[in-house]
Structure 1
């Protein structure tokens, strides 16, 4: 949903508008028409979306969305942004010397809850929901040619992560004072009360307030 919304805000066409239909697949003597699966005029209906969803295996009841990984050029800049600007806590740093990279796990947890024992800390870190995993390939911070794609220009893919805040306007006022780069400020475009900022590598971060989302998502 939000990717489509961003397309309208930016005044650009959807992904499908930039790509021709793929050649229809052939099953035996039957050729399926592109109109059968075209969603250029509208997205899935509620019924079609519900029909596409299937019941998972019972063991998935214990699965959890645990992390999103972002590659970062300079860990010093990224750690400063995610802790000082966004208020996250560094949960654990893990180095892989033989492969020349490090992982930094961050999330909204209390420092006092982080176990002191390394093994306990590792198990605890990987049991936290919705963490950010920043991956630093050693030496990228001094490589002028190293730039990571944020997914929001062609070829588009990854879009953004999202942060829920009590008040979008208060949060964005703080971000402005801290010199954060905005993609969309709360009063830009048709959708008021919703913002997008960028981290040091250009990844987009949606700033939303749960109380505002009902009115925002019903706008047309």
Structure 2
């Protein structure tokens, strides 16, 4: 029998109407797209899949992901946009035009009071190598892997202050026992 998901109060069986649904992307608002794009492309190796501008509403959307080696990404803009919205694990960075020019402007990171949104998470092949890479790129740490009660979990901040959890999957097996 295939895995049907862990069961808790409130969990209901999926219906046929939700067949084919998948989580596509998470959106973060960014003050300065140049700084945000430099961070996610340099530090986390993501690629911009497509940019959509909404001139009337004065905002732009940047969709980033880390396609697998050998994965074929369409070159034609329309085809690539459709392909992007069919993927998993996409990060949408939303830039409201003009925020980059406001010195005191900042978005709520969700971790300050009142708490709300928490973080996004990246899985890496080698946690120590990732920590060294973050140090080499002046990434701000919230928590290193040897700190706090949760060992083997790193938290860093992006350029807008959003928290990013970083894990090495093999190190988390004991959490499920």
**Same fold? TM cut 0.5:** yes
Question: Hey, what does 1:66 align to over in structure 2?
Answer: 24
Question: Hey, what does 2:165 align to over in structure 1?
Answer: 206
1:77 matched to 2:35: yes
Q: Which runs of 5+ in 1 are unaligned?
A: 1-46
User: Hey, which of these two has a bigger chunk of strand by percent?
Assistant: 2
Residues 169 and 193 of structure 1 are in contact (CA less than 8 Å); yes or no, is this contact kept in structure 2?
no
From 110, 113, 121, give the equivalent of 1:154: 113
1:128 matched to 2:87: yes
Question: Hey, what does 2:3 align to over in structure 1?
Answer: none
CA distance in 2, matches of 1:168, 1:92: 29
CA distance in 2, matches of 1:217, 1:196: 20
CA distance in 2, matches of 1:157, 1:83: 26
Question: Hey, what does 2:44 align to over in structure 1?
Answer: 86
**Structure 1 residues 126 and 51, CA gap change in structure 2 (3 angstroms):** same
Residues 162 and 205 of structure 1 are in contact (CA less than 8 Å); yes or no, is this contact kept in structure 2?
yes
1:163 matched to 2:129: no
CA distance in 2, matches of 1:180, 1:123: 33
1:99 matched to 2:57: yes
Query: CA offset at residue 59 of structure 1?
Result: 2.4
Query: CA offset at residue 121 of structure 1?
Result: 1.1
CA distance in 1, matches of 2:170, 2:105: 39
Question: Hey, what does 2:67 align to over in structure 1?
Answer: 109
User: Which stretches of structure 1, 4 residues or longer, exceed 3 Å deviation after superposition?
Assistant: none
**TM-score when normalising by structure 2:** 0.91
Q: Which runs of 5+ in 2 are unaligned?
A: 1-5
Give the structure, 1 or 2, with the largest relative contact order (CA under 8 Å, sep 6 or more). Answer: 2
Query: CA offset at residue 102 of structure 1?
Result: 0.3
RMSD: 1.7
- Secondary structure, in 3 states, of the residue corresponding to 2:75? coil
Aligned length: 171
1:52 matched to 2:10: yes
Query: CA offset at residue 156 of structure 1?
Result: 0.2
- Secondary structure, in 3 states, of the residue corresponding to 1:51? coil
- Secondary structure, in 3 states, of the residue corresponding to 2:8? helix
Query: CA offset at residue 119 of structure 1?
Result: 1.2
